[in-house]
């Protein structure tokens, strides 16, 4: 609960409904106010107590006395020539994270972050070059979504149709907050978004993948595999030294048995590293263990990595081999490369970003 006097106030959005109800009980206020406050926080996305206009002024003052709002704020935005918008968000403690709005003709996707920096240090990813600072709270992730949803409405007259949790950080190393954020976003008391419109992307933390299975989650899961060869994977993804390919395979099998959700494997094609026929054979063998889809992703260059993307001919040959093994394969085209908004490019650059107003669709 919040603390009175000169002690630091607690962010009210760290409280669950029971906590808020307890506050009103102890305050001898009407208990239905708890539901009103909860709806203001999560259904309407209120940024202050003053916005809660159906509450008496005395109630709002009491809330203000005990609690705070640690809202995130837009620091800078940048628009790509393909209409993708990358945003730097400033957190209440001054840290910066990034998120991306990816619009199409009739839908829009928010790519959100889960950590300030990232502890995994993948060699191909700009975010991996940053020092890990801390996890994001569920409320900060919620704000992320709310602000990007507003960008979609204001710039392109689109509703937010999808969320991909694959920005900065490793979601499964911030498990509790990510699960709470998804719970709020999908609940009727929150944004009421269907879970099948949400995808969580992980580098592969077997214990947590199994935990998702035990919780029988309804959202989608993707695993950034990038190679089914342990030696190669450990050389570009240090996390593989602790969680090797075999352990990830076993976790995915367990997850599918529990949820019956077909996972997606993300495979970043790197020229002369993981794009050969033997690499495709190893991936096909890995995929025989469970139903899956494979997203082949083009590598997006960044100043922290010396890798190059595979050529078009190699990419098509790689995909064709997998399809010959009756695997579902999609070749993904990157969005927002010109503003460093594509996969693997989010790195909180300190240069000034000038906002460009979006053209009308």
The better pLDDT of the pair 204, 308 is held by 204
Q: In this predicted structure, which of 209-223, 237-251, 337-351 has the lowest mean pLDDT? A: 337-351
**How high is the pLDDT of residue 306?**
77
Q: Is residue 346 scored above 50 in pLDDT?
A: no
Quick check: 349 pLDDT over 50? no
Closest CA to 20 of 63, 74, 70, 81: 63
Is 98 among the residues known to form the active site?
yes
Is the pLDDT at 12 greater than 90, yes or no? yes
Q: What is the pLDDT of residue 305?
A: 64
pLDDT higher than threshold 80 for residue 118: yes
Copy the structure tokens of residue 30.
């009407």
Residue 239 pLDDT > 80, yes or no? yes
Is 166 exposed, middle or buried (CB count within 10 Å of its CB: 0-12, 13-18, 19+)? Answer: buried
Burial call 34-72: b when 16+ CB within 10 Å, e when fewer? bebbbebbbeebbeebeebeebeeebbebbeebbbbbbb
Question: What is the average pLDDT across 52-66?
Answer: 96
CA angle 286, 260, 162 (to 5 degrees): 95
Which percentage of the chain shows pLDDT scores above 70? Answer: 89
* Mean pLDDT of the chain, nearest integer: 89
Domains recognised in the chain with CATH numbers = 10-68 (1.10.150.530), 73-339 (3.20.20.70)
Nearest to 273 by CA among 231, 325, 244: 231
| Residue 7 pLDDT > 80 | no
pLDDT at 344: 44
Q: Cα–Cα distance between 198 and 10 in angstroms, integer?
A: 29
Instruction: For 292-301, write each residue's pLDDT tens digit.
Output: 999 999 887 7
What is the structure's pLDDT at 341?
Answer: 44
pLDDT in tens, 258-305: 999 999 999 999 999 999 999 999 999 999 999 999 999 988 775 656
pLDDT tier, 307 (very low <50, low <70, confident <90, very high otherwise): confident
Q: How far apart are the C-alpha atoms of 165 and 198, rounded to whole Å? A: 8
Average pLDDT rounded to a whole number, residues 82-97: 93
pLDDT at residue 333, as a whole number: 77
Distance CA 28, CA 31 (A): 8
Question: Does residue 312 carry a catalytic annotation?
Answer: no
Residue range 180-196, pLDDT digits in tens: 999 999 999 999 999 99
pLDDT at 128: 77
Question: What pLDDT is attached to residue 4?
Answer: 41
The residue that leads in pLDDT, 5 or 208, is 208
Separation of alpha carbons 67 and 9, rounded Å: 5
Q: 124 or 250: whose pLDDT is higher?
A: 250
Is residue 155 predicted with pLDDT exceeding 60?
A: yes
Residue 82 confidence class, pLDDT cut points 50, 70, 90: confident
Is residue 6 pLDDT above 60, yes or no? no
The pLDDT tens digits for 318-340 are 999 999 999 999 998 766 555 55
Residue by residue, what is the 3-state secondary structure of 53-94?
CCCCHHHHHHHHHHEECCCCEEEEEEECCCCCEEEEEECCCC
The confidence score (pLDDT) of residue 2 equals 41
3-state secondary structure of 181: helix
Kindly report the pTM of this predicted structure.
Answer: 0.89
14, 39, 98, 287: the catalytic one is 98
Model confidence band, residue 343 (pLDDT cutoffs 50, 70, 90): low
**Active-site residue, selected from the candidate residues 14, 292, 343, 360:** 343
């Amino acid at each position: 609960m919040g603390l009175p006097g000169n002690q630091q106030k607690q962010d009210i959005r760290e409280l669950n409904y029971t906590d808020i109800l307890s506050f009103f009980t102890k305050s001898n206020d009407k208990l239905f106010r708890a539901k009103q406050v909860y709806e203001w926080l999560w259904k309407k996305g209120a940024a202050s107590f003053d916005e809660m206009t159906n509450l008496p002024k005395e109630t709002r003052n009491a809330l203000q006395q005990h609690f705070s709002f640690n809202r995130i704020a837009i620091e800078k935005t940048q628009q790509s020539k393909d209409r993708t918008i990358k945003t730097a968000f400033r957190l209440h403690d001054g840290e910066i994270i990034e998120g991306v709005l990816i619009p199409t003709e009739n839908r829009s996707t928010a790519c959100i972050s889960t950590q300030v920096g990232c502890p995994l240090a993948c060699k191909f990813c700009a975010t991996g070059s940053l020092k890990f600072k801390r996890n994001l709270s569920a409320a900060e992730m919620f704000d992320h979504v709310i602000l990007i949803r507003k960008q979609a409405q204001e710039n392109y007259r689109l509703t937010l149709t999808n969320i991909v949790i694959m920005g900065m950080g490793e979601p499964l190393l911030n498990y509790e907050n990510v699960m709470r954020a998804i719970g709020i976003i999908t609940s009727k008391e929150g944004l009421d978004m269907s879970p099948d419109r949400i995808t969580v992307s992980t580098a592969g933390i077997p214990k947590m993948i199994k935990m998702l299975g035990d919780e029988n989650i309804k959202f989608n899961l993707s695993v950034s595999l990038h190679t089914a060869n342990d030696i190669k994977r450990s050389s570009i993804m240090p996390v593989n030294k602790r969680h090797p390919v075999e352990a990830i395979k076993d976790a995915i099998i367990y997850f599918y048995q529990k949820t019956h959700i077909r996972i997606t494997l993300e495979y970043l094609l790197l020229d002369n590293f993981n794009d050969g026929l033997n690499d495709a054979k190893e991936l096909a063998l890995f995929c025989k263990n469970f139903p899956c889809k494979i997203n082949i992703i083009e590598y997006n260059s960044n100043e922290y990595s010396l890798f190059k993307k595979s050529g078009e001919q190699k990419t098509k040959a790689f995909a064709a081999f997998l399809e010959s093994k009756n695997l579902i394969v999609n070749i993904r085209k990157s969005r927002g490369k010109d503003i460093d908004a594509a996969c693997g490019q989010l790195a909180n650059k300190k240069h000034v970003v000038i906002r460009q107003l979006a053209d009308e669709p």
